[in-house]
Chains A and B, each alone.
Chain A
Amino acid sequence: MLRLTRRAFSSTPSPRVAVVGSGPGGFYTAKYLLRDSKNVHVTILDRWPTPFGLVRYGVAPDHPEVKSVQDDFEEVATSERFSYAGHVFVGHPADAPSHTGPVVPLNDLMNLYDAVVVATGCDLARKLDLPGAELEGVVNARAFVGWYNAEPTFSHLQLPDVSDQLRSVIIGHGNVALDCARLLAAPSSHLDATDIHSTAFEALQRLPSKRLIHVVGRRGATQAAFTTKEVRELTELENAALVIDPAELEAGDTEASIEEGKARPLKRKRKFLDQVAASTNTAEREVHLRFLRRPVAFEEGAKGRLGAVVFEKCVLEGDVNAQTAVGTGVLESIECDLAVCAVGYTASPPCPDGRRARPQDGPAGTYAQVGSRVAPKLYCSGWVKRGPTGIVGSNVADARETAAAVLEDLAASGVAGYGEGTSWADWRRIDGVEKANARNGAPRAKFSDVEGMLDAAKSS
């Protein structure tokens, strides 16, 4: 339905909201803006011609069930009040030097729309600023994930050229780290029928069959961000084994850790890790889950490439929920040909002042907003709002809150004006119903009451 506003008689008949970013944060916001209003029009912009953000470029290819949320988004996109503007970069031109589509500064976008929701996520990788980080063979998980998911920026990654076995180290204990480990350990049959980047698939296939993957975290199992589901998947791969040293697992069991571990999810996770640690697992491909080791340097090996990652053994110190990894001075070097740094993402959202994007004052560079409102007419949703944590579904509550804030402000500002009229599309539906209701041979049965017409206009 068309809603008349104070501008109904000029060029824009309804409030128009732009959502920057078409990942879960953006699409869920669009969904609730459309669902909870009758007249708001939503345009989603994305820097890529293709939509869905991290559902397309973040979710691992062997997790198709997580991607089924796309079907919900496709349904959102069928709304007459929805439009998509792909291949449009929002921000400063200098922030997108290789972008070949239109570049729109955020402040211009804010002048064009009644409200703008930034849902650009956390696009940057947190870097490990350690000696040797520039060595060939050290890659960031942001690039590695982008590579196997065919994100154009990262489609040209090179895996090390090794002949007898691949030795790799993944630094970090989040689900992204385990995704990387699983992709490196998986047999080709596991990835065959997925939407993995074909070049990445072939490169992984060409690696020697024997693979050793260490996934190393600074703190203990209780503090690790990975979930039971992701660990479990590492135990279900064909021809691969997950290995945990029981002593190393228990070394993190400080009194504070035991207190932290009382929540149901953590108890389940620990129980599962204990089971893995108690079994003797060996296979051609082994993933070793390592704890209490802090990376201190990348060491050069043959041909000037990465040869090893040096770690310092740590102990946990501090209060419940605030324990830190404190180095013991004991070093351990893990030889490897590939190191993937998976230590988190940060945001660098576009600025309304027209200057270049930069990390803001919120957690992980997110906007330092309270709730959903960044500035007048400017809102945020998804990772750029709450930081790079949570699963796809975490965006639901978040997006609802943002949509509610936008709609509340639109109503208060008087943009949402005079009530509802009907659109041409409404007429097409009325026409359809009149034709469907026709008696034998008649072209149509005309509605003689306005109420009937309006009911028909709302049909699909």
Chain B
Amino acid sequence: MRRTARHLGRAVSLKGRARPPAQIRAASALSAYAHDRRRTATLTVRRRDHSHSHGHVPEGDPDYEVTFRIRKTGETKTVPAYEGDNLLRLAQRHDIPLEGACEGVTACSTCHVVLTDDFFDQLEDDGDHADDREEDMLDQAFGLEPTSRLGCQLRVDARFDGQVVELPEATRNFYVDGHVPQPH
């Protein structure tokens, strides 16, 4: 009952409350995959690094604000973010329905997000572009767009402050929406 715990844990004082979600617990075991060499090296503006704070919610005043927009419903949610926050975990912490099936190890494309043109370009200009591994998974994402990225590969810094990150529409009915049998 992870979700219930995160929803309502604040209301009660229970020992079990600080138990991190499974995907976070497991991610540390797979840190060889989760470790993002390139981006760690290029981030220079970090004030505090919460990137290893798996499981516990960062404390203190948040550094930034990031807005998530769910395209399907048009709903937006602006959440406080900390320097070094992983965008996937940030979304999950605030119950934004970003999936992350592989737990952030670039083995699926369920944390697919779409950035604004300007923000995407800014990251590109700064050399923070998707690596081959991320691109390989993006290839398999639904509704891939030119400014698509994987949430699990993005770490929040000053450039993310005030940005709007969109969650593409996930539902797609394969058969009704025109299953095209592959001719051979």
Contacts and interface: CB of A to CB of B under 8 A. Distances in A.
Interface stretch (A143-151, A224-232, A302-310): A224-232
Contact of A68 (B13, B102, B146, B182): B102
Interface string B8-36: 11011111110101110110001001000
In order of increasing CB-CB distance, the 4 nearest A-B pairs are A265-B139, A229-B136, A386-B174, A393-B108
B61 interface: no
A392 B13 contact: no
Contacts of B142: 397
B140 A35 contact: no
A325 B183 CA distance: 9
A371 B176 CA distance: 6
A65 B139 contact: no
B144 A398 contact: no
A69 interface: yes
Interface of A: 35, 63-66, 68-69, 71-72, 74-75, 78-80, 218-219, 223, 225, 227-229, 232, 264-265, 268-269, 318, 321-325, 362-363, 366, 369-371, 385-387, 390-394, 396-398, 400-401, 432-433, 436-437, 455-456, 458-460
A265 B140 contact: yes
B171 interface: yes
B14 A432 contact: yes
B99 to A, nearest CB: 5
B41 interface: no
Interface string B46-76: 0000000000000000000000000000000
Interface of B: 1-5, 7-9, 11-17, 19, 21-23, 25-26, 30, 33, 99, 101-103, 105-110, 132-133, 135-140, 142, 144, 146, 170-176, 179-184
**Interface of B (DSSP majority class):** loop
Contacts of B26: 68, 71
Given A265-B138, A265-B140, 4 more contacts: A72-B101, A74-B22, A386-B174, A393-B102
B25 to A, nearest CB: 8
Nearest to B170: A397
Contacts of B135: 228, 268
Contacts of A401: 171, 173
Contact of A66 (B15, B102, B171): B102
A391 B140 CA distance: 8
B144 A265 contact: yes
A316 B6 CA distance: 55
Contacts of A322: 183
Contacts of A459: 4-5, 8-9, 11-12, 14, 16-17
A374 B22 CA distance: 34
A93 to B, nearest CB: 30
A460 B13 contact: no
A252 to B, nearest CB: 14
A194 to B, nearest CB: 14
Nearest to B181: A363
B110 A268 contact: no
Given A65-B33, A433-B14, A460-B17, A269 B170 contact: no
A265 B112 CA distance: 15
A362 B175 contact: yes
Contacts of A436: 13-15
Nearest to A218: B184
A458 B132 CA distance: 43
A95 B16 CA distance: 46
Residue with the highest number of chain B CB atoms closer than 10 Å, among A71, A318, A322, A458: A71
A458 B4 contact: yes
Contacts of A324: 183-184
B145 to A, nearest CB: 9
Given A79-B1, A227-B139, A455-B8, A396 B170 contact: yes
A219 B144 CA distance: 25
A66 B23 contact: no
A269 B103 contact: no
A68 B173 contact: no
14 contacts: A68-B23, A75-B22, A79-B1, A228-B136, A229-B136, A265-B138, A265-B140, A321-B180, A387-B179, A392-B108, A396-B170, A436-B14, A458-B7, A458-B8
Contacts of B1: 78-80, 460
Contacts of B15: 436
Contacts of A393: 99, 101-102, 108-110, 140
| Most chain A beta-carbon contacts within 10 A, residue among B9, B22, B30, B181 | B22
B9 A71 contact: no
A68 B34 CA distance: 12
Contact of A400 (B30, B106, B139, B170): B170
Contacts of B106: 65
